[in-house]
Amino acid sequence: MNERASADYNGLTDEAFRQSVRGFIEAQYPQQLRYLQRRVRMSEIRPWWRTLYEKGWIAPNWPREFGGMGLDAGKMVIYLEELERYGVARAADQGITQVGPILMKYGTQAQKDAYLPGTLSGAIIWCQGYSEPNAGSDLANLQTAAVREDGHFVVNGQKIWTSFAHESTHIYLLVRTDREAKKQKGISFLLIDLKTPGITIRPIRNIAGHEEFCEVFFDNVRVPVDSLVGRLNEGWTIAKALLGFERLNIGSPRRPQYALRRLEMLARVKGLMNDAGFVDRFTTLKLDLEDLASLYSRYVEQVKRGEPLGHDVSSLKIWAMEAWQRLTDLLVETGAEDAVLEGAHDIAGVEIDFLGPFYYARPSTIYGGSSEVQRNIISKYVLELPS
């Protein structure tokens, strides 16, 4: 039953809360979707969304008055850790993680009423319209424009790498609304229903063979002026507000730890734990992850104390994603010929998919700010090197 009205999660001890989350996940989460080595499709994950929604647990980060769990930062970390621990796939939850908090901070009452309930129930699924063909790492260079015209914005341009646009109902969009201003200053934040005339969505097949991201074309798309969130030309500030916590979440050691366990299992059945050369490389990677876990817990403690995350949290994303890739590289090397067979295979009694984890780790150093961009950030803001 819905626990929203009564439960005070923050009043529980960490351990009691952890057990309660763990018990619920283990009882309810579909087995076949554990540790999926790709992004999950909305159609597959919808029953789980429903389960969480009915429990009142779909939005751990939202305040109670909006139907969330109202978790403090410490409990939030535990909640996410338990999802990761059990290998729960991350649904297209940007409505929950991004749009909701943005509307609560910058939205009008009418916008909150129009979007928040549907975002919570899954009736509205959001996709993120940020990147463009000429605005990837240089996001502020985006050119998709919105022009004010008799009570409407007219949007023209193209977005790309929009994850699951073809399974979404709405898009939140960064658009250029002032061509004269400095790059970051002329950007606004819009919410658009994907059924609006003039929008074309074209899925792009990735190297793993999955259709996860899309191109989205806007051809004279007319949307009402109340699609604007916050003030005109305030979009950059709004979009950047949530990046820190995202980098902490993405830097969790759980996904690479899963790859490590697969590798260890494979190494044992192949007798490689007696091979000194292999063991040194394996142990180096294992320690890379152990040390990542120490670094991660340091940032978690910082969040729990209520301190904001600084630019140095980029370290976590760089190390987590690059270590993950190194692990899947070694997994493929260890699999030898078997590693290039598509799909899962029985290796001496252990079912292993080599290419899945390998492909899955590939874009992690590109999305959410590439490793190179993260290094630029540390260089500029932490080491304070000149530009």
Q: Which residues are identified as catalytic?
A: 246
Output 61 or 314, the one with its CB closest to other proteins.
314
Please identify, among the stretches 54-62, 192-200, 243-251, 374-382, the one whose residues bind other proteins according to the rule CB under 8 A.
Answer: 374-382
286 binds other proteins (CB under 8 A): yes
Q: How far is the CB of 243 from other proteins (least distance, A)?
A: 18
Output 220 or 284, the one with its CB closest to other proteins.
284
Q: Distance between CA atoms of 66 and 366, rounded to whole angstroms?
A: 33
Please identify, among the stretches 85-93, 128-136, 169-177, 294-302, the one whose residues bind other proteins according to the rule CB under 8 A.
Answer: 294-302
Least Cα distance to 208 among 345, 357, 328 occurs for: 357
Q: Are 120 and 103 in contact (CB under 8 A)?
A: no
* Contact map string, positions 256 to 275, toward other proteins, x by CB under 8 A: -----------------x--
Name residue 46's amino acid: R
The token pair that represents 44 in the structure block? 């597959």
Q: Distance between CA atoms of 176 and 321, rounded to whole angstroms?
A: 31
Q: How far is the CB of 35 from other proteins (least distance, A)?
A: 19
Please identify, among the stretches 42-50, 59-67, 226-234, 289-297, the one whose residues bind other proteins according to the rule CB under 8 A.
Answer: 289-297
207 φ/ψ angles, rounded to the nearest 5 degrees:
-70, -15
Question: Of 294, 336, 340, 381, which one interacts with other proteins (CB under 8 A)?
Answer: 294
Q: Are 214 and 162 in contact (CB under 8 A)?
A: yes
183 binds other proteins (CB under 8 A): no
Please identify, among the stretches 92-100, 124-132, 342-350, 373-381, the one whose residues bind other proteins according to the rule CB under 8 A.
Answer: 373-381
The token pair that represents 293 in the structure block? 């876990």
SS3 58: coil
Measured CA to CA in angstroms, residue 377 lies from 53, 137, 298, 299, 318 at distances of 37, 12, 20, 17, 11
57 φ/ψ angles, rounded to the nearest 5 degrees:
-110, 10
Q: Distance between CA atoms of 157 and 34, rounded to whole angstroms?
A: 38
Residues near other proteins (CB under 8 A), total: 32
Question: Of 26, 280, 333, 342, which one interacts with other proteins (CB under 8 A)?
Answer: 280
Output 222 or 304, the one with its CB closest to other proteins.
304
Question: Of 33, 208, 279, 347, which one interacts with other proteins (CB under 8 A)?
Answer: 279
Measured CA to CA in angstroms, residue 333 lies from 207, 270, 281 at distances of 19, 13, 12
* Tokens 């590798």 found at: 263
The neighbouring-strand residues paired with 345 are 352
* Contact map string, positions 298 to 337, toward other proteins, x by CB under 8 A: x------x------x--x--xx------------------
Question: Of 12, 147, 265, 382, which one interacts with other proteins (CB under 8 A)?
Answer: 382
- Can you give the binding site for other proteins, defined by CB under 8 A? 273, 276, 279-280, 282-284, 286-287, 290-292, 294-295, 297-298, 305, 312, 315, 318-319, 372, 375-376, 378-379, 382-387
